[in-house]
Each structure stands twice: as structure tokens, then as C-alpha cells.
Structure 1
């Protein structure tokens, strides 16, 4: 167990909903260790609620997810002032922009322990000048950290392969995830027939569900392609799409789905996704990149098997053939094949769902993950040579 440094800690994220939804438990653990915790994020009701729930102080600093030199410089100046004033012993920062600003300021003000919780690489899939810029930003952020904690083995490997940080600084939560899953909150429940009927779903036809942001990186093109292939074969199923529609390409995807011949229902962001999960027989995450997808753990805890890709992060979130199925990213035919297998075999998908819940309830305990972040994560064991 690490010694308490200075008795003050900062926990930060670009947007406050990330802290509120995923990291209150980690902040509470910091407080239990004896730290006085300051939460730093963009201002809003979510920041105030996270502070109240965790017993911490809120310090709003506006930060933009997009690249904005003027606003980023203003945020960095505020970060320098805040850290110079409160003199924390630990700064833990998640999300790329926040980590870049917070850890650069923390190194400049000589904070002894600086932790970057890396939950994915935006640079994956980028090309040209934009990729070079994102690589440079990650190297600066990780270079300012005394520990870089990634949330999956495949992300660990990607960070090393891209030479973003010195190997001795890199750590991983084991077996993965940034916060685990509350398996009492996400627990199996019967479908809400009234909700299903209000969405136009037929209770006698299997539902394939997607939960996440409607944007290209989540593999929506692949999902549509696979669904149309299955429809063309005469497979009976319904598509349920749930999630935020605030990305630049979200509206176009909503229109594409609604203008197909698919039996599809599109729902916006939901404060509580559990009723929607309970309507699904299969959950699909065709993402092109992740750190470690929280949504797969949530589905698994509710005994819903996931079909996801072999992309970074995704491939760590299921045990292929045991708790779910994997297919190559951007391969609509492969996704259709996997869904065909499960749609035609209720016993198989139920067995996968049961095994998924057993796995996540034993391995992804929130306190276990939080403890690794607070006390220091470990280096994963070397991969066996084939």
C-alpha cells in the first residue's frame, strides 16, 4: 500500500459525467485512505453531484474534448494556478485532453505522483497530420506522468508498440476495466413488456441491441451491413439502438437506420440502460477501437452475451466462445454469421450469458479495480510465446 502523500489528491476528467458514472468509488477509496480530494472537470450539475456523492470538493475548469489552442491554454493556466494553490501529493487524470493539461501542470508544479488513466487511444484509425498531432499529445501527457495505467492488455500492447511512453512507467488494471461493474445494480431482470410495446417491439421476436454513441468509431456501418444481410436471409429479429446522438455524424446514422427496411428502433441517451438491456437477447458492439468497453461488462452482468470485435480493448472484454463471440472489425459478413449462430440457438446464447455473469461478478469487482488505481496497478505477465 502506497503512503499518503501530502494528504491531498486531485481526481480529474474532461467532462464530469465520467467521474459521476464511473469513478465515484475510486474517489471514495482515496478519501478512505486519508486524502482530501478535489474533483476537477468542466462545470455542471454532474460535477456537483459527483462531489456530493464522494464527499469531495468541486473545482470546475472548462476543458474541451476537441483541439482548441486558445481554450486549452486558458485551461492550462487555470490548472497551474489550482495546483500551485492546493499543492496535492497525487493527481489522477483520465481522458486524453484532461490528462494532457492536468499532468503537464502537475509536473510543472512538482506533484510527486502523477497518474494517467488511459482508457483508449484516439489516434487509432487516424492518418496524416491528425494522427501525428494525437501521437505527440499522448507522448506529452504520458511523459508527464509517473504512472500510465491502461485498462486492457491489448491497449497495453498498443501503447508499447506506438512507443508512447517508457515501458517502466506503464501499468494495467487486471484483468481490465477502469472501474469494474456493479453486478448488484446490473443484474438479470425480466423484460419490461410495457416498455417493449411502447418501442414497437414484438415480444416474440429476438432483439439484437446496441448501446453506445452513434458514430463511425462504434462500428455503426458494420452493424447496418450485418443487419441488412440477416434481413435478406429472412432471419426474424429486431434491432434496438440506444445511446447518445451528439456526435457530428449521429444524425446521419439515425436517418440511415430509419430509412432502411429493417425492423429497427432508435432510442436516444438513457439515464438508465438496464430496462433496454433486459429487452435484448444479444448485445452487439462492433467498435473499431476501445480501451475496455464498459457496456460489455454491464450486458454481461445482466446475463446478455455480447458479439464484439477483435479491435483494441474489445477483444479483452469477452472470452470468445465462452461469454460472447468475437469477429474482425469492419467485417459485416462475419458479424452477420455470429449473429445468425446466436439468433438460431436460444440455448447457446443463454449459456453464454450465464457464463458472462459468472466471469464479470468474480473478476471485475469495482473495489478491486479502484484499489489498483489508488495503490498502484501492476505490469501484466508476459504473453506466452507460441
Structure 2
């Protein structure tokens, strides 16, 4: 059985963003997962039934640590002799593709799921541009997980079109619409959570799921929400604070703590019940690849307010299953939130389309089989 190595910078990407995919692929190949160490990497081994190896990688620019990671990964690849190395996330991409190139791995694949460099400027942007080009140069195939990313890569001359391919309608992993289904959450569980969070049946609940950082638009979201004077509205923030990388504004942090209409739950392993007690997803991110949370919310029957960025503007079709606003535009965000709340006919129309728009385009098995087909094609070319 041929060997495939999947590499991410941190294990949460293997555990959550690619959930189920390694197990599916292990029916056809020997699959080895590599990421930074810790309990989550061990969880991947248990959940997916694959072998894993730790290679510490940082998410920040750290030349000495990166060289050490490169050396360790080079030695692993030399020993394992994989048929395919498939990387995800920027740091794993450059280290994984460079090590694979040095070893001579025949099929070096990199999935692009969002580019942090989009928000960078000056010397940092130039450095990240160089790293991105180097990653794609070392890869034999690059998979942007949205059409917008595909065109961004071409526009910035990171790679030629013959090296790029978008699989299906986009997404790195698709979505299991049997798992993310509003019918799987019982009314008892919904009412129990609402009671715990002090949410009434009369409340209109906006929900955000993800890291609570500036790049996700949390500063604008909190400011826009505080302008809503209606009584029966709540904002549910489901996700961890990451103050080390992209800290929120001080006043915004104070507002989250003090405003009794804003409920911050921290990280939640299973977000389905939280989505099931919400009315609409608000996702004002500055940049994305192909955001899973917008797929998840839609599959749970929620219309979405998203920014006009990669992925979001492909999952959401304006005035069909949600609406699209400009990035960093607090006024547009406020207006969209108010329209959802005040215009019931408009809101119910979007809600009625939400789940079908996901199930018809992004079912998980379609994406998995598209990736498997790519792998099989490489076997034919041997």
C-alpha cells in the first residue's frame, strides 16, 4: 500500500478542519499525519486510526526554529519514503514542500486555505510573498480551496495556472450534512443550553464561531452590535480568545465582559447546539480560504452575514442564503444585522434556502472523492 503523509502546522487542523478525511483515505493508502505535538495530535491518531508523528512548527516567522523543523521533517521523509506529501496551512506548506523537494518525493501537494499575507504590508508582505512563491515552486500541484484564491494566486504570480486546481465547488474537506443537521439536536438540549446562557425564546440570536481576534472582524462586530437598541437581541461568541497573535481592542474586550447581551462561551468542541439556538451567523472576517463555519451554519439552517472575501462570497449568494458586506465596514454590518432582525419576510426567505444551498454544493463525500481521484491519477503517471 502506497504511503501518503498529511502535514499541518498545528494538530487542530488535522483534528477539526480535515476531520474524517485521513480515515477515509486510509482505506486506499497508508496515511501518516504530521503536526506539532500534544494531546490533539494523539487524538487524531485515535479518531482517524492513523499513525502520527510530532514535528514542532511555529505559526510565526521564526528562522532558527523553522530550520530545525525542516531538518527533522527531512529526516522523517527520508526514512518514510512517501508517494505523496500533502500539506495544509502556510508554515507546514513551506517546510513540508521544501523538505519533500529536497528528499525527492514525487508528488508534492499543497492546499491553500486562506493567506495571512493578505493583511500584511511592507517588508513583512514582501517576505511572505517570497515564502508563498517558494512553497508553490517546490510543490508539484497546488489546490486553492476557493475560486477567489485561485485568481488571487494567479494575479500575484505565485504560480502558473497549469499547477493550480480547485476541487469541486471549493472547500478543503466539504461538510458532513448528516452530522451538521438541525434535526440532530433535541429540543431538550436546545432549551437546556438556552437556559444556561440566559437566552429566551423571544431573543433574536446572532452567532459568531471562530477565534476571537481582530482579523475575524470581532472589533467591528462588537461595536456594531452595541448600537442595536432592541431589547430581544443577543450576540453569541463561540470561540477562544487568542491574545498572543491578534489581540482585540481594549475597549472591545471590556464590552464583551460587561455587556449582558454578549455571551462569550470560549472554545466548544461541538458547536451544533450553539448554532441550533441561534438565528443567524455573523462572520465579518478580513480574510479566509474556505470557511468551514459558514458551511456548518448553513447546514444547520442559518442564513449568514459575511464579508466580500475568498470563500465567503462563494458559499453565500447575496439575498438567497445570506448577505455580503464590505470588509471592515461597521455601518454595513450594523445595517445588515438590523435588516435580518426587522425584515421578517426577508430573513425567513434566506433561512428557507440556507441548508439546501449547502447540501447541494458541498457534501463531504464529493470533496473526499475528488481528492482521492487526484491521488489515483498520480499512480497512473508513475
Matched, 1:104 2:98: yes
* Aligned 8 A contact 1:239 1:262 in 2: no
Give the number of the structure with larger relative contact order, counting CA–CA contacts within 8 Å between residues 6 or more apart.
1
Instruction: Find the aligned partners of 1:38 and 1:194 in 2 and give their Cα distance.
Output: 40
Of the three residues 124, 128, 135, the one matched with 1:130 is 124
Matched, 1:21 2:19: no
Instruction: Name whichever of 187-196 and 118-127 sits farther off.
Output: 187-196
- Aligned partner of 2:335 in structure 1 is 337
Of the three residues 221, 225, 238, the one matched with 2:234 is 238
Instruction: Name whichever of 59-68 and 241-250 sits farther off.
Output: 241-250
Tell me the SS of whatever aligns to 2:111: strand
Matched, 1:176 2:170: yes
The 1:154–1:118 alpha-carbon spacing in structure 2 relative to 1, beyond 3 Å, is same
1:205: how far off? 1.7
Q: Count residues with an aligned counterpart.
A: 369
The 1:51–1:260 alpha-carbon spacing in structure 2 relative to 1, beyond 3 Å, is closer
1:57: how far off? 1.2
- Aligned partner of 2:291 in structure 1 is 293
Larger helix percent: 2
How does the TM-score come out when normalised to structure 2? 0.92
* Aligned 8 A contact 1:244 1:268 in 2: yes
Instruction: Find the aligned partners of 1:18 and 1:251 in 2 and give their Cα distance.
Output: 27
CA deviation profile, 1:1-32 (whole Å, cap 9, x unmatched): xxxxx711101111112111132432233322
CA deviation profile, 1:106-140 (whole Å, cap 9, x unmatched): 01111111110110111002111111111111111
Instruction: Find the aligned partners of 1:305 and 1:235 in 2 and give their Cα distance.
Output: 22
1:259: how far off? 5.7
Instruction: Name whichever of 353-362 and 92-101 sits farther off.
Output: 353-362
- Aligned partner of 2:33 in structure 1 is 39
- Aligned partner of 1:141 in structure 2 is 135
1:202: how far off? 2.8
Matched, 1:370 2:368: yes
* Aligned 8 A contact 2:97 2:138 in 1: yes
1:209: how far off? 1.1
Instruction: Name whichever of 77-86 and 313-322 sits farther off.
Output: 313-322
Instruction: Find the aligned partners of 1:216 and 1:262 in 2 and give their Cα distance.
Output: 21
1:309: how far off? 0.7
Runs of 4+ more than 4 Å apart: 259-262
Of the three residues 348, 351, 354, the one matched with 2:352 is 354
* Aligned 8 A contact 1:254 1:266 in 2: no
1:261: how far off? 5.2
**Aligned Cα RMSD in Å?**
1.9
Instruction: Find the aligned partners of 1:250 and 1:269 in 2 and give their Cα distance.
Output: 16
Of the three residues 190, 199, 207, the one matched with 1:201 is 199
Instruction: Find the aligned partners of 2:180 and 2:19 in 1 and give their Cα distance.
Output: 17
How does the TM-score come out when normalised to structure 1? 0.91
